[in-house]
């Protein structure tokens, strides 16, 4: 793995060539959908020629292929957008470019970011960086794997219900899902607008902090953005940390619990207090998520009609045009979510499902707010198991959804959550712990992770 400092002060052209070479060498992992080689080299040449360097001058990175970026199509891993060339760049990419960072490629994902293994990509799955028979995690699987393989020091992802945190833990890297609204969503393919967040993968907490600081802040194109609050923080001594009881049950893999307990020991030995806490409502979090998120998906994906963007099917009538374009453009999981979403929003079921889920979500937010008045940070696993085998859950959506049970709460409540590598299972698979904090405490979470980096 590499870190940002390995690329600072070196020629940008050399950095880009090195990253592209590494990407080509690791082709078998299928972590990338495209390289943006030509544009990257052009930018690198210009950066080498300029006197005033940005905070990420000449540092190569990779973006998940649902970020609008120049140099290659933005496919969202779907047939729909297979040939879609972005007319503009995402705010997050623009901000990184202002500081001199160079996007060298687009990473694989579950189509439209629906999934938890990258097996829903129209173009085939990404393989886990540590064990090629296992999934990369998802939906930002490609971004996690390129970071873990050392192709680039950081990569961008989106996290709507765990898509940064889960693949980060499956591949042994840091992953941050920031506070909702911390980074502009402008120019990123929408999934569920009330939980979509933009974050990154990195190999250490300081790099994640730097990248987030560059990307964060108000954007007039996204009314939900907050002012930048990513000022680099020092760790607060003697924090009170709550272990979420509902995440440490017998159903959770023993190795996963062991790695959380190891991290807890580190927290205690560095002067923090750790106690068990309980949020009984968590048992409904997955149900809330899989009502609210499909509802928003069905609304956001209505724009893919075969007329406005991307692929248009041959058809004799307008309804055929919609139907055939969508049939070919979406994968099964996209269709499933559009159907569930349309169902829970339909007039006969709206009150029974969607409204109930929204009311329950408010109760969950209240429960977390209350807990975070007494505790600085909440801790638990990221997922119930380490990376599973390719094909193990792909044919059973419910099994796949169940692996999101520990990540969706921070998404529904808009709270920042990070996945921190915390060792390996006996068979060598990476495991991560999840730290959750109050809204806008992102830098504090990273500071805590940083302070323990040496000892993990």
| Residues lying near ligand GLN in the complex (CB under 6 A) | 113-116, 139, 158-163, 191, 293, 404
Measured over the CA atoms of residue 337, residue 417, residue 35 and residue 51, the dihedral's sign is: positive
The beta strands (E) that lie in 221-315 are given as: 240-244, 273-277
- In the bound state with ligand GLN, the residue whose beta carbon lies nearer, of 16 and 292, is 292
**Shortest Cβ 160–ligand GLN spacing (Å):** 4
> Is there a contact between 56 and 118 (Cβ–Cβ < 8 Å)?
no
* b/e code 256-295 from CB counts within 10 Å (16+ = b): bbebbebbbebbeeeebebeebebebbeebbebbbbbbbb
**Shortest Cβ 141–ligand GLN spacing (Å):** 11
* b/e code 79-115 from CB counts within 10 Å (16+ = b): bbbbebebeebbbbbbbbbebbbbbbbbbbbbbbbbb
- In the bound state with ligand GLN, the residue whose beta carbon lies nearer, of 155 and 241, is 155
- In the bound state with ligand GLN, the residue whose beta carbon lies nearer, of 139 and 179, is 139
**Shortest Cβ 222–ligand GLN spacing (Å):** 18
Residue 191 CB neighbour total at 10 angstroms: 26
DSSP code for 362: H
CA 228 from centroid of its chain's CA atoms: 20
Asked about 325 being catalytic, the answer comes back as no
Asked about 266 being catalytic, the answer comes back as no
**Shortest Cβ 139–ligand GLN spacing (Å):** 4
Q: Which of 64, 177, 311, 450 is labelled catalytic?
A: 64
Cα(101)–Cα(55) distance, rounded to whole angstroms? 8
Which residues are 277's β-sheet partners?
244
**Shortest Cβ 249–ligand GLN spacing (Å):** 20
**Shortest Cβ 136–ligand GLN spacing (Å):** 13
Task: Give the residue at shortest CB distance from ligand GLN.
Answer: 163
Asked about 257 being catalytic, the answer comes back as no
- In the bound state with ligand GLN, the residue whose beta carbon lies nearer, of 305 and 333, is 333
**Shortest Cβ 434–ligand GLN spacing (Å):** 14
Q: Which of 139, 143, 206, 403 is labelled catalytic?
A: 139
Instruction: Please enumerate in sequence order all residues whose Cβ is within 8 A of that of 5, keeping only pairs 6 or more positions apart, or say none.
Output: none
Cα(9)–Cα(325) distance, rounded to whole angstroms? 48
> Is there a contact between 250 and 215 (Cβ–Cβ < 8 Å)?
no
**Shortest Cβ 297–ligand GLN spacing (Å):** 9
- In the bound state with ligand GLN, the residue whose beta carbon lies nearer, of 160 and 444, is 160
Q: Which of 140, 143, 163, 411 is labelled catalytic?
A: 163
- In the bound state with ligand GLN, the residue whose beta carbon lies nearer, of 44 and 410, is 410
Cα(317)–Cα(84) distance, rounded to whole angstroms? 24
Q: Where are the alpha helices (DSSP H) in 270-406?
A: 285-300, 318-329, 332-345, 356-374, 397-402
- In the bound state with ligand GLN, the residue whose beta carbon lies nearer, of 15 and 117, is 117
> Is there a contact between 82 and 75 (Cβ–Cβ < 8 Å)?
yes
Closest CA to 455 of 408, 421, 418: 421
- In the bound state with ligand GLN, the residue whose beta carbon lies nearer, of 58 and 138, is 138
Catalytic residues: 64, 139, 163
């Amino acid at each position: 793995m590499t870190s940002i400092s390995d690329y600072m002060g070196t020629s940008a052209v050399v950095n880009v060539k090195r990253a592209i070479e590494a990407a080509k060498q690791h082709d078998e992992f299928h972590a990338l959908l495209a390289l943006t080689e030509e544009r990257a080299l052009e930018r690198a040449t210009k950066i080498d020629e300029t006197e005033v360097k940005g905070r990420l001058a000449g540092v190569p990175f990779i973006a998940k292929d649902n970020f609008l970026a120049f140099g290659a199509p933005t496919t969202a891993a779907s047939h729909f957008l297979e040939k879609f060339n972005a007319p503009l760049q995402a705010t997050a990419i623009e901000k990184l470019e202002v500081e001199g960072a160079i996007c060298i490629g687009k990473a694989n994902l579950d189509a439209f970011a629906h999934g938890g293994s990258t097996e829903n990509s129209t173009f085939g799955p990404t393989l886990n960086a540590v064990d090629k028979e296992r999934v990369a995690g998802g939906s930002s699987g490609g971004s996690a794997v390129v970071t873990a393989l050392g192709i680039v020091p950081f990569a961008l992802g989106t996290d709507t219900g765990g898509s940064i945190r889960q693949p980060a833990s499956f591949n042994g890297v840091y992953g941050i899902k920031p506070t909702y609204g911390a980074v502009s969503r402008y120019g990123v393919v929408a999934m569920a607008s009330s939980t979509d967040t933009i974050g990154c993968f990195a190999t250490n907490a300081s790099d994640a902090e730097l990248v987030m600081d560059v990307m964060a802040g108000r954007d007039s194109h996204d009314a939900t953005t907050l002012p930048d609050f990513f000022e680099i923080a020092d760790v607060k001594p003697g924090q009170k940390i709550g272990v979420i009881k509902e995440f440490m049950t017998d159903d959770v893999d023993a190795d996963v619990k062991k790695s959380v307990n190891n991290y807890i020991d580190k927290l205690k030995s560095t002067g923090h207090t750790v106690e068990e806490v309980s949020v009984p409502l968590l048992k409904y979090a997955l149900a809330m998520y899989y009502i609210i998120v499909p509802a928003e998906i069905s609304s956001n994906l209505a724009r893919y009609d075969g007329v406005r963007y991307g692929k248009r099917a041959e058809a004799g009538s307008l309804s055929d045009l919609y139907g055939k374009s969508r049939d070919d453009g979406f994968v099964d999981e996209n269709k499933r979510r559009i159907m569930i979403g349309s169902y829970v929003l339909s007039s006969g079921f709206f009150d029974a499902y969607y409204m109930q889920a929204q009311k329950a979500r408010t109760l969950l937010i209240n429960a977390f707010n209350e807990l975070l008045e007494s505790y600085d940070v909440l801790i638990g696993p990221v997922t119930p198991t380490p990376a599973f085998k390719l094909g193990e859950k792909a044919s059973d959506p419910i099994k796949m959804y169940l692996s999101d049970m520990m990540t969706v709460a921070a998404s529904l409540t808009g709270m920042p959550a990070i996945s921190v590598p915390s060792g390996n299972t006996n068979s060598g698979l990476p495991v991560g712990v999840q730290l959750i904090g109050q809204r806008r405490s992102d830098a504090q979470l990273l500071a805590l992770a940083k302070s323990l980096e040496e000892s993990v």
